[in-house]
Structure 1
Amino acid sequence: MGTKLNFSSAYHPQTDDQTEVVNRSLGNLLRSLAGNKPKQWDLALSQAEFAYNRSKNRTTQLSPSEIVYGQNPSGVLDLAPIPRIGRLSIKADEMIDYLRGVHDQVKKAIEDSNVKYKAQSDSHRRKVTFEVGDLVWVVLTRDRFPVGEYNKLRERKIGPCEILQKINDNAYRLRLPSHLKTSDVFNVKHLTPCFVDADKDNLNSRASSFLPGETDAGQ
């Protein structure tokens, strides 16, 4: 399929969008099948898998089973004692040619869909890049705090922090304060440029750089 492996940064699994979509679809199916017994969702997992593999994808207009095996698995009606019209035995060579044609069709559909979604997403995206040595303000999300330490009123933007390594345009490794016990790799959407006023030697941001226990009362 010509895929390329992109490593996601810590706490930012959205790079693997295909898995995210499948998990969301399976979650919706399980929610419907489990009904008023959500803790027994594992009993409906086989039904959800079967239904998902038989359902047509919006992009490819084919089901996962059709793409992999060339046909959908037999359902309830297929097992009924009625004439199976339209089900023909395909020779191996014909089956190979058919699957190759299906895969070419699916690849083209996915590429066209990706181009459309990328153009739509890029129209609302502002690209920001940093270099090693730049100072940035860092936004700490809830999952960055240890269990029991998160508070809605606690400072969430810290800095300035120095960029130590540029992993790619979306992920950067930072020099964090020693009291922070979290991964030092951040997604670019959680970083804000920090500029130093050379005349006043001040930082032009409202973000706080206080250490734990400090307040602005003493200052």
Structure 2
Amino acid sequence: MSTLGDARCLIITGAGRGFCSGADLQARGGKSLSGGEGSYIALTRHYNPMMMNLARLNIPVITAVNGAAAGVGCSIGLAGDFVIAGKSGYFLQAFVNIGLVPDGGASWMLPRMVGKARATEMMMLGEKISPEKALDWGMIYKVVEDADLMAEARALATRLANGPTLAYATMRKNILVAMENSYSEQLLAEAEGQRIAGSSEDAMEGGMAFLQKRKPDFKGR
């Protein structure tokens, strides 16, 4: 993610037939350590920083779920601002099936997405959630045919990349902090964000385009 440069949207998808089947905690943590210690090191040194970097990106993120999104892969799949799933995709909190607990931020993310009861179902029963059910639960943006997945993701990415990037960055930040902020804190966060966005070139262009009754040409500045 440190090499994104001037990118104005990020698509994350899996290489091959699956999105991500989970983390190799032992390989990341060190095979000479006990299972628990190796997992702790892998999470705190690698996976947790990756998830925080993803949350703090200043461009929109699309996840195109092209198969199994299991374990930490489920957290990565659901971390997109827009989650598009192919019909063969699914979401699985597989940890309980091997005597482990959710990671990758799942225990923070899922209750806020789907409520305590459904989050508990996913984490404690360890059953696959189909893309149709995920859509019904409000977890994802769209379900498409597998063959159409990347075309849908790229079309959305093009739309977002042509949008007001600075405003998107502020929206991402405000949505993240809204999970913890009080109402008054969120009102202030919105005001601060509006001060930043309102001073941007894109805001000036948007205002001019509105007055001139034309489509704005946002530059992401």
**Same fold by TM-score, threshold 0.5 exceeded?**
no
Task: Output the TM-score relative to the length of structure 2.
Answer: 0.25
More helix by share: 2
Q: TM-score, normalised by structure 1?
A: 0.25
Could you say which structure has the larger radius of gyration? Answer: 1
